[in-house]
Amino acid sequence: MSLFILMFLQFNIMVAKSHDFAVIDASPYVIVEESKLSGVVIDHFNNCIVPLMNKKSLKVELRSYPFKRAINYLKKGEVEGIYLYIKDRSSKYSYSTKSVLSLKPSLCSDELDKIISKKESQFDGVRFSHFHGEYPIKELFNSKAKPLSISSDNYAYQALRMLKANRINAIYHPLPAAMEYEKKKHDDLYYDVKCKRITNKDIPLHVAFQKKTKIYNQMNSVLDKCLPKITSGK
């Protein structure tokens, strides 16, 4: 009987539920290659978040999805949350009390000086792409600017392709290092694209949850211990 109980307990440990969190490609912080995840955000999660959650008898994993699919999975409850998410102005999600990554947004273009020089009518008629999530668009661009949201697996690369195809005039990007990462991979195509930080306001990335649950509370307590948070560079 005791052997049966031991085997039963071992089986339950083996099939313990994994609490999955969605994350999207944000090279070089989150690099997705052949379904394998790497980068400083992944290292931070695996080396700090995972061990502390394990101590609470909770198994957590990051899984890569395109942004729209991640949102859909969150709504359906197929993932516990989205790791690295910019707070919406609405209250449709519950967010971690601490941010994981601090963003330093820049404007990138192959005609950057020309765009920046538009002072009084700055960004009038400029078509620009922006990363997922709710940005303070109105605070940075006037109503005549034409934003285009991109929710590609690899936002930076997709945005650069659209820039060279003249579908957009500029890229509003929170991760300058991500843009530099893609430029270096295709230097012959994007050598003339320059980036400049256009606001001193950092934008924090949080963990977004569908609602406040036990895992929400546990994740918050772990994030407190895993600080300082990762920064996105200058």
Confidence band for 125, pLDDT divided at 50, 70 and 90: low
Q: Which fold has domain 105-197?
A: D-Maltodextrin-Binding Protein; domain 2 (3.40.190)
Mean pLDDT of the region 35-60 = 91
Mean pLDDT of the region 19-36 = 84
- Please tell me whether residue 148 adopts helix, strand or coil conformation: strand
Q: Where are the domains of the chain?
A: 16-102+204-231, 105-197
Q: Which fold has domain 16-102+204-231?
A: D-Maltodextrin-Binding Protein; domain 2 (3.40.190)
The domains spanning 16-102+204-231 and 105-197 adopt the same CATH topology: yes
Choose among 168, 173, 171, 174: nearest CA to 125: 168
State which amino acid sits at residue 17. K
Choose among 180, 194, 189, 183: nearest CA to 116: 194
- Please tell me whether residue 27 adopts helix, strand or coil conformation: coil
pTM for this one?
Answer: 0.73
Q: Which pLDDT belongs to residue 153? A: 59
HSE of 175 in the Cβ direction (CA atoms, 13 Å)?
28
Q: pLDDT above 70 covers what percent of the chain?
A: 71
Indicate if the pLDDT at residue 132 is higher than 80.
Answer: no
Mean pLDDT of the region 208-225 = 91
Mean pLDDT of the region 152-163 = 77
CB 81 within 8 A of CB 210: yes
